[in-house]
Amino acid sequence: MIYAANLKCNHTKKSYADYAKKLSNGLSQNSNSVIVFPPFTALSEDKFNFTQGAQNFYPAQNGSYTGEIGSQMLEEFEITTVMIGHSERRALGEDEPFLKAKFDYAVSKGWDIIYCIGEDDITHMNGSTKEFLSDQLANIDLNYENLVIAYEPIWAIGTGNSAKVEFITEILDFISSKCSAPLLYGGSVNITNIDEIKAIKSCDGVLVGTASWDADKFLEIIKKG
């Protein structure tokens, strides 16, 4: 199982240092299956028993891109895992052409990619989820060997109300019919629902938001079951 923590816009350099130390010490050994995406200002050059990833990046090594983070900066921290397509980035204006540019750049670097897809509540209520996700998946090379796809229904993110297991199963089975990439579920994953989510046959892991911001709570999720 893959356990990915999206810390979003949380943690300072100091608080993340404490978080990372506690999480790393809580893992019995170095685990490539545990990935943490801290904010850029908190990235550490220390070695941990988990993988550090980048929540965002600009598809260039460097250049005149005010406020952006290029691959040269990520290389300083030995970052080779990136997240692309999160709904909160899409909401800020990252459209399909830009997401494709990011994806293609990450592929050119050989990076591990967690590519996020998901529908809003209106699309969900209209019963158009599969068509919507198909359009999002059509934007990338599903045969890329270092690809992981995270299904995060927007209507479940940060609401405390995860999608029903039957619905998650249906959608992950649908995605798995289109590609062989490992599949994650994200959307209000927590200690109370992790067991039933992990039990889904087509689910290879979880992308955890709020419940991962505290190292002890994230460790509890990782170790449960």
Taking only the tens place, the pLDDT of each residue in 40-82 is 999 999 999 999 999 999 999 999 999 999 999 999 999 999 9
pTM of the predicted structure, to 2 decimals? 0.96
Instruction: Considering the candidates 11, 86, 94, 124, report the single residue annotated as catalytic.
Output: 86
2 in any annotated domain: no
User: Which residues does 222 contact at the CB level (< 8 Å), separation at least 6?
Assistant: 3, 27, 34
Domain holding 46: CATH number? Answer: 3.20.20.70
Catalytic residue among 88, 94, 119, 152: 152
Cα–Cα distance for residue pair 87/8, rounded to 1 Å: 12
- The upper half-sphere exposure of residue 71, i.e. CA atoms within 13 Å in the direction of its Cβ, equals 15
Overall average pLDDT of the 129-150 stretch: 98
Q: What is the pLDDT of residues 150-199, one digit of tens each?
A: 999 999 887 777 789 999 999 999 999 999 999 999 999 999 999 999 99
Give ∠ CA 67-83-121 in degrees, rounded to 5: 100
Is 11 among the residues known to form the active site? Answer: no
Asked, for residue 158, whether it belongs to a domain, the answer is: yes
pLDDT band at 23 (very low <50, low <70, confident <90, very high): very high
- Asked if residues 83 and 53 have their Cβ atoms less than 8 Å apart, the reply is yes
**Which residues form the domain of 153?**
15-223
Q: How many domains does the chain have?
A: 1
Tell me if residue 152 is catalytic: yes
Q: Among residues 23, 14, 87, which one has the least CA distance to residue 51?
A: 23
